[in-house]
Amino acid sequence: MFRKEDGDNVKYVDWHSKAELIELSKTSPNRDISKIVDVDYIIKSNELSKAIGDKFDLVCASHVIEHIPDMCRWFEELSALLTPRGQIFLAIPDKRYTFDFFRQISRATEFVRAYREKLVIPSMWQLADHFYYHQKVNVAEIWAGKNPAFFQPRFSLAHALDLAERKSSSYTDAHCWVFTSDTFCQLIDDLRSSGIVNLEVTNIQHPLEQTNEFMVMLRKTPT
């Protein structure tokens, strides 16, 4: 984590202000509100580069990418923020160790569709997948080789579809996308071959034992 109080030359971007983040987090036992930082850029749109108007050597996003309805357009915005040698760092949940365990890995064609549809909020179908296939898992048990035996839905698919349809009229937070460290590089290669994404993976760290995330570094594809 980069922090200004440690001397790091860093700017923070969020949808919410610091006060809003504190309000949203104050009832969560897993959040330390004393560590919530002042937000430099409060941006409630997908036009990051226009709102920020600056260049950076490193752009970091931890557990953000899975929430972005149109990942390819988001990548365009992040790329526009980079200096010529700049890179993007992502921390991404690996679905094999999260409540997305029973969801299918997101395919390149789905990202292209979201890009062509110019999604700005999660679609009904992204929400339905998120709501229906959500299942709590025990990370320690999975690492010990004890995978969940079968999917146990919280409610019917009909209820999930109805909920998704009602929630899709405004922004609803969800995991729009599902990734694994074993398939992420191929996904980026596929999207680059589509002509939409102009990024390449320079480094990837697979999930460390007892964790549920992987780390990726990307840069703009050299011309």
Q: Do 180 and 52 touch, CB atoms closer than 8 A?
A: no
pLDDT, tens digit, 9 for 90 and up, residues 73-129: 999 999 999 999 999 999 999 999 999 999 999 999 999 999 999 999 999 999 999
Q: What DSSP line would sit under the chain, residue for residue?
A: ---GGGT-----EESS-HHHHHHHHTT-TT--GGGPPPPSEE--SS-HHHHH---EEEEEEES-GGG-SSHHHHHHHHHHTEEEEEEEEEEEEBGGGSTTTTSPPPPHHHHHHHHHHT-SS--HHHHHHHHHT-----HHHHHTT---SS---SS-HHHHHHHHHHHTTS--------B-TTTHHHHHHHHHHTTS--EEEEEEEPPPTT--EEEEEEEEPP-
Nearest Cα to 111, choosing from 192, 49, 46?
Answer: 192
In this prediction, residues 34-45 reach a mean pLDDT of: 90
Q: Identify the pLDDT of residue 195.
A: 96
Residue 223 has pLDDT above 80, yes or no: no
- Phi/psi of residue 220, each to 5°? -65, 140
- Domain spans in the chain, listed from the N-terminal domain onward: 45-220
pTM of the model: 0.93
Give the orientation angle of helix 124-132 with respect to helix 157-167, to 10 degrees: 140
CATH 3.40.1800 matches 45-220: no
User: What mean pLDDT is reported for the chain?
Assistant: 95
